[in-house]
Amino acid sequence: MYDVIIIGAGTAGLTAAIYSARAGKRVIVIEGSTIGGQIATSPRVENYPGIMQISGMEFSDRLFEQATALGVELEIDTVVGITDNGGIKTVTTEYGSFEGKAVIIATGVKHRKLGANGEDKYSGRGVSYCAICDGAFYKDKTVAVIGGGSSALISADLLSDGCEKVYLIHRRSEFRGEEKILSGLRAKANVEIVCDTVVDEIFGDEKVTGVTLRNVSTEKIKNVSLDGVFVSVGQTPENAAFSSLVELDEYGYIVAGEDTKTSSEGIFAAGDCRTKAIRQLTTAAADGAVAALAVCDYLR
């Protein structure tokens, strides 16, 4: 029997694990895919207080080392549901089940799809959702990054270091991402920023060879030859497995306030998977700490 079962080994989950273990609790973290979560695929993190610059991968590795050094257990498996039997929670995975006195859900969010024709057909054959994972395959090639948030800007910046040409294609003319990165991109000779434009189709043969772009103001259509398309249009939560026990909002986020308490007693939600205004590395870490301390309080 674990004191706390943490679902998700991203920043929120691992911070919760560190705080829980330091409070003397028996902790297991269950992760379905990537240790470190979303930030593990971020090329550069430059806005975490006290760290000037670090790769997302190294940041994740450090969090993981810190947690395991404190005795936190890790299980790589996908959670399919939680049941509550008079206070004892059973977390069921694809390959087994775990019992705990409390649960922290820290499942983060997943990449959102663009919805363009050809996106699924060419996924893994020129369409990618991760510049840090796949960028090296496009050295000296021409690629497009789709999106106007921080992730898209950071991806375009990273790709511009190795690619011959990078198009940054955004459906509006105002960007959500950081102005500092945007102005850096504007100064790069191999980056072309294309605003007010959407991707109608991704086409190719065996692999991607181009995209059909449509200017949303003029409705003018043009084809651009490309070797790769990096979709970076935000994220979406995946909390369906918990919907029988905890309340979700209309977008699928777990309804929980700053205290991380969900509609179900003894189940807490930390990080990007819960309803909140700001989804950042710092707020994920903060949520992990709050959830762990809320668990300690609950167990008392």
Cβ distance to ligand NAP smaller for residue 113 or 188? 113
Cβ distance to ligand NAP smaller for residue 17 or 146? 146
Residue 182: CB atoms within 10 A of its CB come to: 19
* Minimum separation from the CB atom of position 276 to ligand NAP (A): 10
Q: Which of 15, 60, 151, 260 binds ligand NAP (CB under 6 A)?
A: 151
Candidates 133, 161, 249, 259; catalytic one: 133
Compute the distance between CA of residue 292 and CA of residue 284 in angstroms, rounded to an integer.
Answer: 12
Residue positions counted in the chain: 300
* Minimum separation from the CB atom of position 132 to ligand NAP (A): 11
Residue 233 Rama label (left phi>0; alpha psi -120 to 50; beta) = alpha
Q: Which of 55, 235, 247, 299 binds ligand NAP (CB under 6 A)?
A: 235
* Minimum separation from the CB atom of position 178 to ligand NAP (A): 8
3-state secondary structure of 106: coil
* Minimum separation from the CB atom of position 291 to ligand NAP (A): 19
Binding segment toward ligand NAP, per CB under 6 A, in 78-86, 160-168, 260-268, 277-285: 277-285
Kind plus residue range of the DSSP H or E element containing 14: helix 11-22
281 neighbors 47 (Cβ within 8 angstroms):
yes
- Which amino acid, 156? A
Does 114 engage in binding with ligand NAP (CB under 6 A)? yes
* Minimum separation from the CB atom of position 296 to ligand NAP (A): 28
Instruction: Assess whether 134 carries a catalytic annotation.
Output: yes
For residue 170, give the nearest of 155, 190, 188, 189 by alpha carbon.
Answer: 155
**Contact mark string toward ligand NAP, 38..77, x via CB under 6 A:** ----x--x-x------------------------------
Does 211 engage in binding with ligand NAP (CB under 6 A)? no
Q: Which residues pair with 84 in a beta bridge?
A: 89
For residue 295, give the nearest of 115, 106, 154 by alpha carbon.
Answer: 106
Instruction: Assess whether 133 carries a catalytic annotation.
Output: yes
CB-based burial of residue 188 (10 Å sphere; 0-12 exposed, 13-18 middle, 19+ buried)? Answer: middle
Interacting residues toward ligand NAP by CB under 6 A: 42, 45, 47, 114-115, 146-152, 154, 171-172, 176, 198, 233-235, 279-281
Residues known to be catalytic: 130, 133-134
